[in-house]
């Protein structure tokens, strides 16, 4: 009987793949945040606010928040791709905060906010489940 040329996927390869997925999704979510922030800062007519406006900050404040948070998310996603252990904890914290900020920004632009929240949830899932498989 001929031997198979493919080897079974090891547990280490699976959790490493999840961390790479989480890192790439963090970079994508961070870039989306940077775009949201730049649009809010340079084209204030792009976002249409309802009667209640945007929670807590004016549009320029949200622009700066998304720009800074997006840059931090991109840097943390890059650190996660390098395999830095500290980046896993910071990734979960930043992704959670990023999802909350996007939830508060939803009245200004719901589509982008939903996309960023979905990416953040995928990142948190990937990083947390990679940790449980790594220990198995």
pTM of the model: 0.74
The whole-number pLDDT of residue 10 equals 52
Q: What pLDDT is stored for residue 68 in this prediction?
A: 93
The dihedral through the CA atoms of 100, 102, 104, 110 has a sign that is negative
With a cut of 50, which residues of the chain have pLDDT below it?
11, 133-136
pLDDT in the model for residue 65: 86
Tens-digit pLDDT profile for residues 21-53: 888 988 988 898 899 889 888 887 666 666 655
**Comparing C-alpha atoms, which of 63, 65, 69, 76 is closest to residue 24?**
76
CB 73 within 8 A of CB 30: yes
> Side-chain half-sphere of 99: how many Cα atoms within 13 Å?
14
């Amino acid at each position: 009987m001929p031997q198979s040329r493919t080897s079974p996927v090891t547990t280490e390869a699976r959790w490493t793949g999840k961390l790479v997925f989480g890192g790439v999704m963090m970079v994508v979510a961070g870039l989306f945040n940077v775009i949201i922030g730049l649009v809010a800062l340079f084209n204030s007519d792009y976002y249409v606010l309802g009667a209640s406006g945007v929670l807590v900050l004016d549009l320029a404040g949200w622009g700066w928040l998304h720009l800074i948070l997006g840059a931090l998310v991109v840097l943390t996603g890059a650190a996660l791709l390098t395999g830095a252990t500290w980046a896993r904890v910071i990734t979960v914290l930043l992704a959670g905060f990023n999802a909350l900020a996007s939830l508060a920004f939803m009245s200004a632009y719901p589509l982008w906010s939903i996309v960023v929240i979905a990416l953040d949830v995928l990142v948190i899932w990937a990083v947390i489940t990679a940790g449980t498989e790594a220990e198995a």
